[in-house]
Structure 1
């Protein structure tokens, strides 16, 4: 799983079977400090994440299992982050 920030939505009127009624979001992977940490991800979302929110994204087979096994999905939003706590190592 990765931590990310929702930076936008994608609308597609034509989708593969198994993807109808599915909201697609553009997710920017981020570090725990909120800094960019990789390439943009397009993820399916059934929990209602919105622009600017921090989210947890699952990728690969675990993402596909949430939907139909035949759906061409490799990333899904599995949580909206309310808060987290990190203990930074002492220098």
Structure 2
């Protein structure tokens, strides 16, 4: 799973038919431990998240299972809105 911030929406009037009805969000991954700058990506929204919210994302086959569309061309799905993240930076990884 990945933690990220919703930074935008994607509107596509023409897209794969299996994507019809899904809201698409632009996600900026967050690495709380190293503060590394990670590349944005697009995820299907399964829970009604909005811009500015911190979310939990699943990828790969889990992303398709989360929306019950195993044949859909989906790489990432938002499955939760995060209220709080607690990080202990003293733990070395």
Normalising by structure 2, what TM-score? 0.85
- Residue 36 to residue 55, structure 1, CA distance change in 2 (3 Å): farther
- Note the aligned Cα RMSD (angstroms): 1.8
List runs of 5+ in structure 1 lacking aligned partners: none
Q: CA deviation at 1:57?
A: 0.8
Instruction: Please state if 1:47 is matched with 2:64.
Output: no
Count residues in correspondence: 90
Aligned-partner SS, 1:18? helix
Partner residue, 1:11: 11
Partner residue, 1:72: 73
Partner residue, 2:23: 23
Partner residue, 2:90: 89
1:60-88 C-alpha deviation (Å, 9 max, x unpaired): 11101223111000100011111122223
1:28·1:39 contact (CA, 8 Å) conserved in 2? yes
Aligned-partner SS, 1:78? strand
1:28·1:36 contact (CA, 8 Å) conserved in 2? no
Structure 1 segments, 4+ long, off by >3 Å, are none
List runs of 5+ in structure 2 lacking aligned partners: none
